[in-house]
Amino acid sequence: ETAVFQTPNYHVTQVGNEVSFNCKQTLGHDTMYWYKQDSKKLLKIMFSYNNKQLIVNETVPRRFSPQSSDKAHLNLRIKSVEPEDSAVYLCASSWDLNSDYTFGSGTRLLVI
Amino acid sequence: LAKTTQPPSMEAYEGQEVNVSCSHTNIATSEYIYWYRQVPHQGPQFIIQGYKDYVVNEVASLFISADRKLSTLSLPWVSLRDAAVYYCIVTDMATNSAGNKLTFGIGTRVLVRP
């Protein structure tokens, strides 16, 4: 099966902890993304990664950082989580920045 | 990027055709129209894209007005599985940079009744 796979599905953690979410795509795409979907269901782009070029949304706090070992993987690390980081984090991929995206099922983070 | 306006919600019964409208009055000549949908506990799923006129695939059809300021996504014979939030997005295909990314609005919540 070719798709975008995210782990874990859910994660509960305390304020100040570090968390890391994994994303792998088996579609052979060249570009990957991380989106954040908040409690109001608004989807906001956080990062895009294409040919080792990282493009960061300037509104993303510095405690968030993407990590990529190859074009099929783009993980997301949050250094010291805060309550407002509670959200669903969605990973996506596409052939390039102009192609349609394939999304994963998301990782739901709850910070207590 | 052009801003889009969609109705916040719609209702239909199973078997009916559903038409979801999207206004993009400031759409630029380089911008394309994309439609995605999201069901609960899943990421958005690509449905269809178009530039002008009429586009059809196995899932839906997309009609774009002659001036490209309005598009309508048509879902024939909806089932309960079509209940989702439908997003209309316009994006500039000419820009291959940080500016060319899918920007999601609040979408249209389609409720399907049995």
Q: Do A33 and B42 touch (CB under 8 A)?
A: no
Q: Do A92 and B34 touch (CB under 8 A)?
A: no
B72-89: per-residue pLDDT in tens? 999 999 999 999 999 999
Residue from A56, A100, A92 nearest A74 by CA = A92
Cβ atoms within 10 Å of A2's Cβ, excluding its own:
10
Identify the CATH assignment for B9-113 out of 3.40.50.720, 3.30.1280.10, 2.60.40.10, 1.10.3720.10: 2.60.40.10
- Supply the pLDDT for residue B85: 97
Which residue among A42, A45, A91 places its CB closest to the CB of B106?
A42
Domains of chain A, CATH where assigned = 4-111 (2.60.40.10)
- Mean pLDDT, chain A cut into blocks of 10 residues (112 residues total): 91 98 95 92 89 79 92 95 97 83 96 96
Which residue among B46, B96, B98 places its CB closest to the CB of A101?
B46
